[in-house]
Amino acid sequence: MDGDEAPRPPRYDWFGWSVDAMEVDVTAGRLAETHEYFHRQLDDTTAFGGLTTTVAALADALPNEHWAEVRDRLQAMSDLVHEGFAVGLSLLATQQTIRAIVGYPIYDRHVRNVARLLGEDRHPWVALAALRAASTACMQSPALARAASDGLSRFDPISIVPLERPNHRLAALLTGGFRERVAAAEEAAAGQHGSETWWRPRGKILLDPEAMDGTAGEASAELHRRLLADAEQVLAKVGASMVTEVDYHPHLRSLLMQAQAIAPVGLTRIGALVEAPGGDLLQSGALDSQTIRLTAAPDRAVVLPRAGVSGLSGEGESAHGFVVVTRPERIRSAHGRIDGIKLPDAPVAAFLRSTVYDGERRDCVLHILVDDPVQLDSDISMYVSVLSSAAATEPATAERWMRWADPDHLSLVMDTPATAALRRWCVRGARFRTQTRLIRVERMEVRVIAGRVEREGSRSALVIIPTTEFGARWFEAARAEDPALSAAIVEDPDFFESEKTHLDIVLNHLLFEERYVGTGSWRR
């Protein structure tokens, strides 16, 4: 990538979003990434979103079949609802009014739609509940149940009648009096809450965080329920029905099983349904969704056998070996040119990895294939870094390398969802001792959450979660709001200093030799 190339805006792809790790204005970056997060949230919590993301997963697993066309047709039936929701909620969540966004003229249309739907200058507390209610009503369409009943292999979007299409349902709300119901709700709310401190703006704080907590939070949830019922009544007048936020789950599970039968290999996640004990529906946050594109890695990779090649990094006292246990497909996706021997066909492999320089220019990333830890007996310090997707794909291979490694030189880099993993790890009194730090490399900017899980005198490998400013803030909020995480996560302001040598080595390799990091990058 050219060093002068401007960062690309975040991009939502039905499974999460991608963002370039480049220095941008914090406010603008937060707004843009919050926008993508709300796309994900709407898909993860609604019936039509579940239908679309199920088909998107099939398109991802079977790229040569017709599923991409079906996915795109479903997206076209819901894009106005999606963009209005993401634009409006991202503005409200970043303490801005619902107005045209400077630098984003393509969103002007959606800002106007939201204003028409809710009314001008709505109080942000009311606007938040109303936009959620309207968007949910539009997306809680019977189309998912119809697809599950008819059979996914026979499903054709043309069978979805207009009033089961979210954009048509939005048109019904725009013309059916929903705006007047929102106005009445605001008048009642102002009478009830207008004297509360959280109702009144404080400088640039238009929506006080206290408005989403305690009694005010309960009132907001009740307002959402009332406005959702109002939206359902408006839709019922034109003959459109709405499924509940719970009743569509069995249809989504049915669709999942059908999709698995169509593509039994390669479907790790379909829609909002995560295959776990009990088959729970999990709504993922930022630490389960991000793909961060790095720019420092050379475009060329060289893959060599172990015979006679050192593959060490650093010089003098800094000399070390760095072994990464990863999936070869990650290497294929990271580099435009791969020289040397063919990458192994195995799902997971270990490589002694370093950067090769031509003068001061980084020429290539060298990957020396290592079949067994015994090949690495050396007086030089060896560091082992395991990608979490590799550990999930082939636990036995990852375990072999993790047992061999010096515990002080072992790291686990999360490229799969981290929130559920933290909940799994932090049980029976275990705690996650951690610190978050901003790392700047060249023109890149990455937040790194680093820590270790500790229990009764034992400790885990060094856990590294690369994220963005938005993801770091999401992590802080999750810690405050999730009782399990709040009890288990312990902030250690000296963690980076105490792990300095290890972190310096791992992060230098990670940020200069990987192309994609983040908890959604397992799909790369």
Asked if the model's pLDDT at residue 274 lies above 80, the reply is no
Report the distance separating Cα 407 and Cα 273, nearest Å: 35
User: Residue 430: is it exposed, middle or buried by C-beta count within 10 angstroms (0-12/13-18/19+)?
Assistant: middle
> 3-class DSSP state for residue 60?
helix
Q: Which pair of structure tokens corresponds to residue 178?
A: 């929903």
Residue 179's pLDDT is what?
96
**What's the pLDDT at 279?**
35
pLDDT at 504: 95
pLDDT exceeds cutoff 90 at 365? yes
Evaluate whether 471 touches 286 at the Cβ level (below 8 Å).
Answer: yes
pLDDT tens-digit series, residues 451-486: 999 998 899 999 999 998 888 988 988 888 888 888
pLDDT of the residue at 275: 38
Measured between its terminal Cα atoms, the distance across the chain in Å is 18
Query: DSSP letters of 443-466?
Result: TEEEEEEEEEEEETTEE-PEEEEE
Per-residue pLDDT of 208-251, as tens digits, reads: 888 888 999 999 999 999 999 999 999 999 999 999 878 898 99
pLDDT 10s digits, 481-515: 888 888 899 999 999 999 999 999 999 999 999 99
SS3 content of the chain, % helix, strand, coil (to 5): 50, 20, 30
Cβ(21)–Cβ(444) below 8 Å = yes
DSSP class of 5 = P
Task: Measure the CA–CA gap between 256 and 85, rounded to whole angstroms.
Answer: 26
Kindly state the DSSP code that residue 358 receives in the 8-state scheme: E
Give tens-digit pLDDT for 295-326: 899 999 999 998 877 888 988 888 999 999 99
Whether residue 269 is predicted with pLDDT greater than 80 in this model: the reply is no
Residue 508 CB partners (closer than 8 Å, separation 6+): none
The answer to whether residue 382 scores a pLDDT higher than 90 is yes
- Helices then strands (H, E): number in the chain? 18, 16
Average pLDDT rounded to a whole number, residues 9-30: 72
Q: What value does the mean pLDDT take over residues 346-368?
A: 93
CB environment 369-397: b (16+ within 10 A), e (fewer)? bbeebeebeeeebbbbbbbbbbbbbbeeb
In this predicted structure, what is the pLDDT of residue 115?
94
Of 27-36, 231-240, 263-272, the range with the highest mean pLDDT is: 231-240
- Contact of 215 with 223, CB cutoff 8 Å: no
Task: Give the pLDDT of residue 285.
Answer: 72
Residue of 258 and 204 predicted with greater confidence: 258
Q: Residue range 369-387: average pLDDT?
A: 88
Q: What is the pLDDT of residue 479?
A: 85
The distance of Cα 438 from the centroid of its chain, to the nearest Å, equals 19
Q: Which residues, in sequence order, are bridge partners of residue 466?
A: 448
Q: At residue 276, does pLDDT exceed 50?
A: no
Residue 207, pLDDT score = 86
CA angle 436–439–443, rounded 5-degree value: 150
- Name beta bridge partners: 357: 362
User: pLDDT, tens digit, for every residue of 42-63?
Assistant: 998 899 999 999 999 899 889 8
Whether pLDDT at 4 is above 60: no
- Closest by alpha carbon to 231, among 180, 187, 162, 193? 180
Which helix (H) or strand (E) segment holds residue 12: the answer is strand 11-12
CB 285 within 8 A of CB 478: yes
Strands 444-455 and 458-459: antiparallel
pLDDT of residue 503: 97
What would the mean pLDDT of 115-138 be, rounded to a whole number?
A: 95
Whole-number pLDDT of residue 348? 95
- Render the burial of 500-524: b for 16+ CB within 10 Å, e for the rest: eebbebbbebbbbbbbbbbbbbbbb
User: Maximum CA pair distance of the chain?
Assistant: 79
* Residue owning tokens 């000399």: 319
What integer pLDDT is reported at residue 7 of this predicted model?
55
26-40, 105-119, 133-147: which is most confident: 133-147
Q: Is 315 helix (H, G, I), strand (E, B) or coil?
A: coil
Distance separating alpha carbons of residues 45 and 135, to the nearest angstrom:
11
Half-sphere exposure of 420 (CA within 13 A, CB side): 16
- What is residue 106's predicted lDDT score, i.e. its pLDDT? 79
CA within 13 Å, CB half, 121: 1
Predicted confidence at residue 29, as pLDDT, reads: 60
pLDDT of 273: 42
The span from the CA of 419 to the CA of 282, in Å, is 10
* Res. 198: pLDDT tops 50: yes
Model pLDDT, residue 27 = 57
Q: What is the pLDDT of residues 72-105, one digit of tens each?
A: 999 999 999 999 999 999 988 888 888 887 767 7
* pLDDT(116) > 50: yes
Taking alpha carbons only, the member of 149, 150, 138 closest to residue 238 is 138
Partners of 19 in beta bridges: 292
Mean pLDDT of the chain: 88
pLDDT number for residue 328 = 95
Residues near 351 by Cβ (< 8 Å), separated by ≥ 6?
303, 323, 324, 326, 331, 367, 368, 369, 370
CB-facing half-sphere around the CA of 196: CA atoms within 13 A: 18
Q: What is the pLDDT of residue 523?
A: 79
Query: At residue 160, what are phi and psi to the nearest 5 degrees?
Result: -80, 115
Binned at pLDDT 50, 70 and 90, residue 25 comes out as low
